[in-house]
């Protein structure tokens, strides 16, 4: 099949590349000329393991191309995906759909016959109907179908998530649209991936409900972790003890500094706004948003406490800045709350991240940028593990200890074991587990 993918951000680039790997003929479109030039030159603008090889292979085989010429790409395609950004609108948390509608308008203008227009961007319920109206209004002469095909891929394992998803969700209105979507995903159905066929409204809402549910799960265990600290319980035992109940499940029960990233914060806020607008408020999700934001702001207090109550004149070594490992993405990362709070409390912050440094330099001031983990903790009074990159899981702890002024570690990802850290002579605190070696 011939596919045009409008928008070469995270979702567009990964989905377009994976569709080409399925054997479809895909052209990815972006209005950012320099981005398209970089892609044509074989340079991948995001860090996603495995994506560079997959892009190179499919470009070579002629299945994948890149262009700024939206009109030509639409004329050549049977199915047009909209995968442009839907950022949070300033002020009210609603998703900003201006890029989506502008792309749809351009698609309509360029089309010379029937097209199936599919939204892959995360869009609030009701957007599909608006897309349909806009297509009809712009080109009353042409028959269009619309579909909603939300994407559930996680940064860092996006290709695996696309190629081996738990399910594919497709919202359509006509038999023709349903057939085209089924054809597009045929390689997955051969692998017996369940396909959930729904209306467009349901497909749109499934994406938000899934993200809000996962965000709720994380927030739940984070609040339980706080209680664990007060009563001397261990949150990892709680997570295992409840997670082995198949109705609950073990995934997404890792307590930490609060969720960040490009999806959960934005999508929970947008869902809250939509629900309020339709007068069916999701009070539970409202609370999740508030609890998570407050949590991220509170994390620096743990570092201050570990330093004995004051950071004035002290040095903090920060390990990890991205919102999670295996990405260079800093969007809504807990570090963006933690680092400035440490600096405000009087600390000198030395920080290192394996992939996020370029973006972090843009977003954070007055930080001493370190060469590696050991450089970050050199002369530090406290080390803070903020993102659980593999290289921070395998630190040479004796070297860390020798480099630090005092062996104090705050582990916001529960990477290390409290008793082992105490045995190695560290004063160690983590999330929802008994502290060790302190006082
Ligand atoms: C998420 C969804 O998982 C994906 O389905 C959707 O399409 C986009 O949003 P992503 O943002 O890439 O993907 O990352 P994810 O691995 O889900 O983690 C999100 C945040 O939650 C991170 O900040 C992570 O550190 C945090 N998290 C996750 C926890 O704190 N605890 C957990 O148990 C799981």
Q: What distance in angstroms lies between residue 126's CA and the mean position of ligand 1's atoms?
A: 25
Please give the CATH architecture assigned to the domain spanning 199-439.
3-Layer(aba) Sandwich (3.40)
Q: What distance in angstroms lies between residue 263's CA and the mean position of ligand 1's atoms?
A: 8
pLDDT at 321 exceeding the cut of 70 = yes
Q: What distance in angstroms lies between residue 264's CA and the mean position of ligand 1's atoms?
A: 7
433 pLDDT band, cuts 50/70/90, is very high
pLDDT at residue 92 in the model: 84
Task: Say yes or no: CB of residue 261 within 6 Å of ligand 1.
Answer: yes
Task: Answer yes or no: same fold for 2-198 and 199-439.
Answer: yes
To the question of domain 2-198 being in CATH 3.40.50.1820, the answer is: no
- The length of the chain in residues reads 439
Distance in angstroms (rounded) separating the CA atoms of residues 23 and 58: 9
94 pLDDT band, cuts 50/70/90, is confident
Average pLDDT of the chain is 96
- 153 CA closest ligand 1 atom index: 7
Q: How far lies 316's CA from each of 199, 307, 380, 392, 419, in Å?
A: 52, 9, 5, 16, 23
Task: Say yes or no: CB of residue 252 within 6 Å of ligand 1.
Answer: yes
Protein residue with its CA nearest to atom 26 in ligand 1: 259
ipTM of the complex: 0.97
pLDDT at residue 439 in the model: 53
pLDDT at residue 90 in the model: 80
Protein residue with its CA nearest to atom 16 in ligand 1: 154
Would you say 224 and 432 are in contact if contact means Cβ atoms under 8 Å apart? yes
Q: In the 3-class helix/strand/coil scheme, how is the chain assigned residue by residue?
A: CEEEEECCCHHHHHHHHHHHHCCCEEEEECCCHHHHHHHHCCCCCCCCCCHHHHHHHHHHCCCEEEECCHHHHHHHCCEEEECCCCCECCCCCCECCHHHHHHHHHHHHHCCCCEEEEECCCCCCCHHHHHHHHHHHHCCCCCEEEEECCCCCCCCCHHHHHHCCCCEEEECCCHHHHHHHHHHCHHHHHCCCCEEEECHHHHHHHHHHHHHHHHHHHHHHHHHHHHHHHHCCCHHHHHHHHHCCCCCCCCCCCCCCCCCCCCHHHHHHHHHHHHHHCCCCCHHHHHHHHHHHHHHHHHHHHHHHHCCCCCCCCEEEEECCCCCCCCCCCCCCCHHHHHHHHHHCCCEEEEECCCCHHHHHHHCCCEEECCCHHHHHCCCCEEEECCCCHHHHCCCHHHHHHHCCCCEEEECCCCCCHHHHHHCCCEEECCCCCCECCC
Q: Which of 408, 415, 413, 425 is nearest to 304 (CA)?
A: 408
Q: What distance in angstroms lies between residue 1's CA and the mean position of ligand 1's atoms?
A: 32
Please indicate if the annotation marks 33 as binding a ligand.
no
pLDDT at residue 412 in the model: 98
Distance in angstroms (rounded) separating the CA atoms of residues 210 and 171: 15
Mutating to test ligand 1, I would choose from 51, 213, 214, 215 the residue with most ligand atoms within 8 A of its C-beta, which is 214
Task: Say yes or no: CB of residue 176 within 6 Å of ligand 1.
Answer: no
Span 181-197, average pLDDT: 93
- 157 CA closest ligand 1 atom index: 12
Please indicate if the annotation marks 405 as binding a ligand.
no
Q: How far lies 266's CA from each of 131, 269, 308, 321, 376, in Å?
A: 21, 5, 36, 19, 31
Task: Say yes or no: CB of residue 431 within 6 Å of ligand 1.
Answer: no
Task: Say yes or no: CB of residue 331 within 6 Å of ligand 1.
Answer: no
Mutating to test ligand 1, I would choose from 259, 389, 431 the residue with most ligand atoms within 8 A of its C-beta, which is 259
To the query of whether residue 263 is one of the catalytic residues in this protein, the response is yes
Domain spans, the chain: 2-198, 199-439
Please indicate if the annotation marks 207 as binding a ligand.
yes
Span 296-317, average pLDDT: 98
Protein residue with its CA nearest to atom 14 in ligand 1: 154
pLDDT digits (tens, 9 = 90+) for 242-290: 999 999 999 999 999 999 999 999 999 999 999 999 999 999 999 999 9
């Amino acid at each position: 099949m011939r596919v045009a993918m409008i928008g070469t951000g995270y979702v567009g680039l990964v989905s377009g590349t994976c569709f080409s790997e399925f054997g479809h003929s895909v052209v990815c479109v972006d209005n950012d000329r320099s981005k398209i030039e970089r892609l044509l030159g074989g340079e991948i603008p995001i860090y996603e393991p495995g994506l560079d090889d997959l892009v190179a292979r499919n470009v070579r085989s002629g299945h994948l191309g890149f262009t700024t010429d939206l009109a030509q790409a639409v004329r050549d395609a049977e199915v047009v995906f909209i995968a442009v950004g839907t950022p949070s609108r300033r002020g009210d948390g609603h998703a900003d759909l201006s890029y989506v509608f502008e792309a749809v308008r351009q698609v309509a203008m360029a089309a010379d016959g029937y097209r199936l227009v599919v939204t892959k961007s995360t869009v609030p319920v009701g957007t599909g109907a608006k897309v349909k109206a806009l297509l009809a209004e712009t080109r009353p002469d042409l028959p269009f179908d619309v579909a909603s095909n939300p994407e559930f891929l996680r940064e860092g394992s996006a290709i695996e998530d696309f190629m081996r998803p738990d399910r594919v969700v497709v919202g359509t209105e006509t038999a023709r649209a349903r057939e085209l979507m089924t054809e597009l995903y045929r390689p997955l159905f051969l692998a017996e991936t369940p396909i959930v066929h729904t209306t467009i409204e349901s497909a749109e809402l499934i994406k938000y409900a899934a993200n809000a549910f996962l965000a709720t799960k994380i927030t739940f265990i984070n609040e339980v972790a706080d209680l664990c600290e007060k009563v001397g319980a261990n949150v990892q035992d709680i997570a295992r003890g409840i997670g082995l109940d198949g109705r609950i499940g073990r995934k997404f029960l890792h307590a930490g500094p609060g969720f960040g990233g490009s999806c959960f914060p934005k999508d929970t806020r947008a869902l809250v706004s939509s629900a309020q607008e339709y007068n069916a408020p999701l009070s539970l999700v409202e609370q999740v948003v508030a609890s998570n934001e407050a949590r991220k702001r509170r994390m620096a207090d743990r570092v201050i406490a570990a330093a004995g109550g004051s950071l004035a004149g002290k040095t903090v070594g920060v390990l990890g800045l991205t919102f999670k490992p295996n990405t260079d993405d800093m969007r809504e990362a807990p570090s963006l709350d933690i680092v400035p709070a440490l600096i405000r409390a009087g600390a000198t912050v030395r920080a290192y991240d394996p992939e996020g440094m370029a973006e972090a330099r843009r977003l954070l001031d007055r930080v001493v940028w370190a060469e590696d983990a050991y450089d970050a903790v050199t002369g530090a009074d406290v080390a803070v593990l903020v993102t659980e990159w593999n290289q921070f899981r395998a630190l040479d702890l004796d070297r860390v200890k020798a480099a630090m002024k005092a062996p104090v570690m705050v582990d916001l990802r529960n990477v290390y074991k409290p008793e082992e850290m105490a045995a190695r002579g560290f004063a160690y605190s983590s999330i929802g587990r008994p502290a060790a070696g302190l006082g």
